[in-house]
Amino acid sequence: MFATDLKNMNEVVIGLGDMAVVSGPGKSIKTFALGSCVAVILTAPQQQIAGMVHIVLPDSRIDAAKAKIKPGYYADTAIPLLIQKMRQAGARDAMVCKIAGGGKMVQSVETFNIGEKNYLAAEELLRNSGLSLAARDVGGVLSRTVSVSSTSGQILLSCPGYQEWHL
């Protein structure tokens, strides 16, 4: 799924491997229950544009066919596409980039720490794209829900049993 400027929706909800870009006042994007997955959020506050992708795995070489169908699923295909869609939506100034998620959901298995692999891959891809990371809330054992506002660029995180916090 890819959504751009959904005129009749104030909040766009994205799932695994989905991405969205919204612009204009009062719009937001939200994704639920980031465990080992990572949300990469780009905002252009001056233009009131926000974009988010819900990344599941770091590298599309695992399944190149799936990456063509659902590029948001993999960090290496998702991030360039999200940057492109933000530019197409009118993001002209330096974009603010933040990351959330990448938890370690299976504590006893170090080999399969997909969460850490996801956020490290995302950070490297952003850096290689010329974007610097403004903030991150990654790791741990939290299942994060993330929302971003196009108006303010503010990112709100929540997790059952915790108070909401800003990134």
- Give catalytic residue positions: 37
For residue 162, give Cα distances in angstroms to 29, 83, 134: 21, 32, 23
Q: How many residues does the chain have?
A: 167
DSSP code per residue over 140-159: TT--EEEEEETTT--EEEE-
